[in-house]
C-alpha cells in the first residue's frame, strides 16, 4: 500500500467520522403533567412504571430537578423559552409572552430555524391565550399542532357513579369504550406520536417532536384496568393529614380544584382540611394508577423511536402533593410541588448502566442542554438590562455534566416562586391561581444542596416590583434530616447564620 493510498484512506475515515459527528440528531421531548417522581427507578417502591424504568437503565437521570413555578402555563412558558417567570412576567394563564413582554425565541422555534421539522402533540405549551390560542404556531412548529378530539370532554360529566349517572368526579376510573369517541386524550396523543415517528424514520430532515400527556393531572380519568396494579392498603401513608403548626398560612393552598369536583363538593372540608382518610387513600391510589397509564403509553411511543439517532427527554411541568403538609395540589414552593423527573438519553453517550446525577438543575436548563446535545449553535446568556433579546437563555447547559460527570463546575441551586393574592388563604378567593392584577405577595424560594429557604414578600404587579424589605413570612427547611419539609427552622437560633446567608443569596440571585 503506497503512502498516497494510506493518505486517501485516512481522509475518507476522517470525513466519515466528522460527518457522523455533525449529523443532526432527532429530538423527542415528552412532558407529563403534574408528575412528581412517582417512578420505581427513582426509589418510589409503590410505583408501577416498567417502561420508564427500562428507559432509565440506558439514560442519565437527575434526582434533583426543579420547576420554576408550580403551575402549568408559567412553568411551560419558562421551560420552553429558557427564561424565569420574573423575566417573562407570566404567573397565570392569561397573557401571551410575545405580545405581553417580548418576542422571545422558543426551544422548538430554535430547532425549526436550524432546519428541523418541529411537531407538537397534546399539551406542550398550555393551550389558550397563554400560547396565542395556537400553541405558538406557526412560529414554533412546522405543522399545525395536534390536539386530541377528546380534549373537549376532559372536564365533562363522563364519570359514571354507582347509579349510572355521569358526573364531574375527581376519581374516575373508566372503561375506554364507554367514553366519548371511545378513547381518551392521551391515547390519541400516543397514537399521533407513533404515526409521526413511523412516517419520519427515513426522512432526511431531522425532527423535534414534543409530546405532552395530560395525566396524571386531575381529574383521575384513566382505564380502570390500571387499578389492578395496586391495593388500597398501600396508600394509607403514615403522614399527618394536618397543616404543620409552624408552616405560615401564606404557604398554604386550599386545593379548591379538588373541592369543586362532584365527588368532593358535599364533604364540607374546612379551609385547612383534613379530607376524610378514605378519600385520601383513593386519591393516592388513583394518582399512581394514572401514572401507570401514561407509563404504558410512553412505552408504546418508545417502540417507534430509533435510539441510534434520537435524543429523548422525559420530564414534567411540576410535581403534585398527595397529602404532604395536608395539601392536595401543586400551587406552592414546597419540594413536593417543584421537584420533577428529568430523564435524558443521548446516542452520544453509550451508558453501560443508568447514571443517577444528584446535581441540582432547573427546567430552564432544558433549552441550552438540548441544543448542545443536537450540536446547534449556543445561545448567549440573558444578562441584566438585556433580558429582552429575542434569543437568549437564563438556564445552563448540562452537557459538561453529562460528558464528564463534573461536579461543582455549574451552579448547584434552583430558584422557584409562587404568587398569592392574600396574606391569608381564603376558600372564596383565587388563592391557588391568582390573576396577575390580583397578586399582592410573591414567595421566592431557593433550593441549595442542604436547604430550602423561602421568603414571602410584598409584590406590586403593576410594575413587577419586589419589596424585599416587606416580608410577610419565611420558611427554612434542612434536607439533611427533613426531606418532607415538615419542620420550619426559621426561628431557630442555631440556624441564624445559615438563614442570613441564604437570604442574601436568594435576594442576589433573583435581583440579577
The residues, any chain, with a CB within 8 Å of residue 161's CB and separated by 6 or more, are: 167, 169, 263
- Distance in angstroms (rounded) separating the CA atoms of residues 135 and 210: 12
- Distance in angstroms (rounded) separating the CA atoms of residues 368 and 370: 6
- Distance in angstroms (rounded) separating the CA atoms of residues 299 and 59: 15
- Distance in angstroms (rounded) separating the CA atoms of residues 493 and 495: 5
**Residue 381, Cβ density class (10 Å: 0-12 exposed, 13-18 middle, ≥19 buried):** middle
Active-site annotation holds for 72: yes
For residue 45, the tally of other CB atoms under 10 A from its CB is 6
Provide the CB-side half-sphere exposure for 124 (13 A, CA).
Answer: 31
Max Cα–Cα distance, the chain, nearest Å = 90
The residues, any chain, with a CB within 8 Å of residue 237's CB and separated by 6 or more, are: 284, 322, 323
Mapping DSSP to helix (H, G, I), strand (E, B) and coil, where does residue 340 land? strand
Q: How far is CA 182 from the centre of its chain?
A: 29
Active-site annotation holds for 159: no
Per annotation, catalytic residue among 89, 126, 214, 325: 126
Per annotation, catalytic residue among 72, 159, 382, 392: 72
Q: At what angle do helices 185-199 and 277-302 cross, to 10 degrees?
A: 10
Q: What is the DSSP string of 345-407?
A: E-TT---SS-EEE-S-EEGGGHHHHHHHHTTPPPPPBP-TT-TT-SS-BSS---HHHHHH---
Residue 418 phi, psi dihedral angles, 5° rounding: -150, 135
Asked whether 334 and 321 are in contact (CB, 8 A), the reply is yes
CA distances from 91 to 94, 273, 425, 501 (A): 9, 26, 18, 27
Catalogue the active-site residues.
72, 126
Amino acid at each position: 500500500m503506497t503512502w498516497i493510498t494510506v493518505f486517501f484512506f485516512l481522509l475518507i475515515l476522517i470525513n466519515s467520522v466528522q460527518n457522523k459527528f455533525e449529523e443532526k440528531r432527532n429530538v423527542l421531548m415528552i412532558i407529563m403533567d403534574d408528575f412528581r417522581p412517582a417512578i420505581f427507578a427513582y426509589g418510589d417502591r409503590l410505583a408501577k412504571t416498567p417502561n420508564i424504568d427500562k428507559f432509565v437503565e440506558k439514560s442519565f437521570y437527575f434526582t434533583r430537578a426543579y420547576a420554576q413555578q408550580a403551575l402549568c402555563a408559567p412553568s411551560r412558558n419558562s421551560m420552553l423559552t429558557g427564561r424565569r417567570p420574573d423575566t417573562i412576567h407570566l404567573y397565570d394563564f392569561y397573557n401571551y409572552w410575545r405580545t405581553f413582554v417580548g418576542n422571545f425565541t422558543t426551544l422548538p422555534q430554535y430547532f425549526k430555524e436550524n432546519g428541523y421539522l418541529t411537531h407538537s402533540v397534546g399539551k406542550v405549551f398550555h393551550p389558550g391565550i397563554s400560547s396565542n390560542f395556537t400553541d405558538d404556531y406557526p412560529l414554533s412548529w412546522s405543522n399545525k399542532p395536534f390536539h386530541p378530539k377528546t380534549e373537549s370532554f376532559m372536564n365533562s360529566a363522563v364519570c359514571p357513579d354507582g347509579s349510572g349517572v355521569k358526573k364531574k368526579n375527581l376519581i374516575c376510573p373508566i372503561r375506554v369504550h364507554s367514553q366519548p369517541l371511545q378513547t381518551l386524550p392521551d391515547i390519541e396523543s400516543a397514537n399521533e406520536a407513533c404515526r409521526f415517528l413511523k412516517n419520519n424514520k427515513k426522512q432526511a430532515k431531522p425532527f423535534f417532536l414534543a409530546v405532552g400527556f395530560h395525566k396524571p393531572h386531575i381529574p383521575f380519568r384513566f382505564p380502570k384496568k390500571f387499578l389492578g396494579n395496586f391495593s388500597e392498603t398501600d396508600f394509607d401513608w403514615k403522614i399527618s393529614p394536618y397543616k404543620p403548626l409552624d408552616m405560615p398560612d401564606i404557604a398554604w393552598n386550599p386545593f379548591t380544584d379538588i373541592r369543586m369536583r362532584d365527588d368532593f363538593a358535599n364533604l364540607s372540608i374546612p379551609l385547612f382540611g383534613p379530607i376524610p382518610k378514605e378519600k385520601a387513600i383513593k386519591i393516592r391510589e388513583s394518582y399512581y394508577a394514572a401514572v401507570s397509564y401514561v407509563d404504558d403509553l410512553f412505552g408504546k411511543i418508545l417502540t417507534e423511536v430509533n435510539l441510534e439517532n434520537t435524543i429523548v427527554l422525559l420530564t414534567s411541568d411540576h410535581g403534585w402533593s398527595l397529602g404532604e403538609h395536608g395539601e392536595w395540589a401543586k400551587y406552592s414552593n414546597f419540594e413536593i410541588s417543584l421537584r420533577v423527573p428529568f430523564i435524558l438519553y443521548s446516542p452520544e453517550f453509550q451508558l453501560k448502566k443508568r447514571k443517577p446525577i444528584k446535581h441540582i438543575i432547573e427546567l430552564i436548563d432544558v433549552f441550552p442542554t438540548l441544543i448542545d446535545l443536537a450540536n446547534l449553535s449556543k445561545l448567549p446568556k440573558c444578562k441584566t438590562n438585556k433580558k429582552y433579546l429575542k434569543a437568549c437563555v437564563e438556564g445552563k447547559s448540562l452537557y459538561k455534566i453529562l460528558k464528564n460527570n463534573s461536579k461543582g463546575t455549574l451552579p448547584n441551586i434552583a430558584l422557584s416562586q409562587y404568587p398569592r393574592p392574600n396574606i391569608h388563604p381564603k376558600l372564596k378567593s383565587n388563592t391557588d391561581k391568582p390573576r396577575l392584577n390580583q397578586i399582592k405577595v410573591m414567595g421566592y424560594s431557593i433550593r441549595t444542596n442542604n436547604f430550602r429557604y423561602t421568603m414571602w414578600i410584598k409584590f406590586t404587579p403593576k410594575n413587577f416590583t419586589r419589596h424585599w424589605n416587606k416580608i410577610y413570612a419565611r420558611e427554612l427547611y434542612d434536607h439533611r434530616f427533613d426531606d418532607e419539609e415538615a419542620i420550619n427552622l426559621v426561628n431557630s437560633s442555631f440556624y441564624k447564620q445559615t438563614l442570613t446567608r441564604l437570604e442574601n443569596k436568594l435576594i442576589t440571585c433573583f435581583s440579577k
